[in-house]
Amino acid sequence: MTDIELPEGITLLDAPLAGIKVDTPAATGVIYFNGAHIAAWTPAGQHPVLWLSDQAILERGKAIRGGIPLLWPWFGAGDDGQHTPMHGIARVSTWNLLRAKVSPAGTANIVLGLDGAAVDPELAPDLPRDYRLELHISMGKTLIVQLVVFAGDSELFFEDGLHSYFAVGDIHKTRIEGLDGAAYSDRLTDGCATQQGAVSFEGETDRIYESRETLRIIDDEWNRTLLIEKVGSAQSVIWNPWIAKAAATPDLGDDDWQEFVCAEAVNVRDQSVNVEPGGRHLISQTISII
């Protein structure tokens, strides 16, 4: 998974999963090679920004609940409802560490890669084998996450996303700004509506918003605002499982729903991505505290 020399501030992890730990004057964090999964990011002097379940399954080849799972090449069970694993193969595949540097200011710059030829073809038999994925991570006072998809000799058609779990002090005292006037599909009712004002939380929420706009997560309990800027994303998914679904989900604690909200940069369903042979596509989130 890596044979490169690591700079000061970045160390290898062996357990519970192979990965790297970032510990610099700017931030601390954890990235697992399983799924190129950013499991933790805490800027110096701040509460954690990413949330990870205490019940998360930390096993190779298993999806991890929390942090930033990658969605690729399908969302959920795909548009036909028959695809497995849930949310695609990128988050259950083992990635390789390609580059790791630390700037004088303490920002860790990391690149992970996944070659299609190394992925079990039975996981996605309809995909060509010559695609390549890279995840570029800049982890310091700000977190920048860029998923880059490179097509080989064949075109690629896929859904993608950054399924970010954000830690909050209390979901009841949390709202999301930036989606006022955006149309959304409600995955709980199969209905459509238009957002009026900020998104607040009074029950299970699972919506796909048609919006390229920057989001602001207002956390009154911790008295902070998270700014989430997107590139290459036509939609945002907002999700919280609330009480019943959290209790019914094996890798969530019964009370975990109060501690996080998912705000995901995605391209799904009618906004699926088509990359021509030899082309590439980028989707990114830049996350900061303001």
Instruction: Report pLDDT digits (tens) over 97-119.
Output: 999 999 999 999 999 999 999 99
Instruction: Quickly name the fold that domain 11-168+228-289 has.
Output: Beta-galactosidase; Chain A, domain 5 (2.70.98)
Per-residue pLDDT, 127: 94
Q: Taking the complete model, does pTM exceed 0.85, yes or no?
A: yes
Instruction: Report pLDDT digits (tens) over 28-85.
Output: 999 999 999 999 999 999 999 999 999 999 999 999 999 999 999 999 999 889 999 9
How far apart (Å, rounded) are the C-alpha atoms in residues 93 and 256?
26
Per-residue pLDDT, 246: 98
Per-residue pLDDT, 79: 87
Contact in structure between 217 and 168 (CB atoms under 8 Å)? yes
Sorted by where each begins, the domain ranges of the chain are 11-168+228-289
Please provide the average confidence, as pLDDT, over all residues in the chain.
Answer: 97
Low-confidence ranges of the chain (pLDDT < 70): 1-2
Per-residue pLDDT, 1: 58
Per-residue pLDDT, 245: 97
How far apart (Å, rounded) are the C-alpha atoms in residues 114 and 124?
14
Per-residue pLDDT, 2: 61
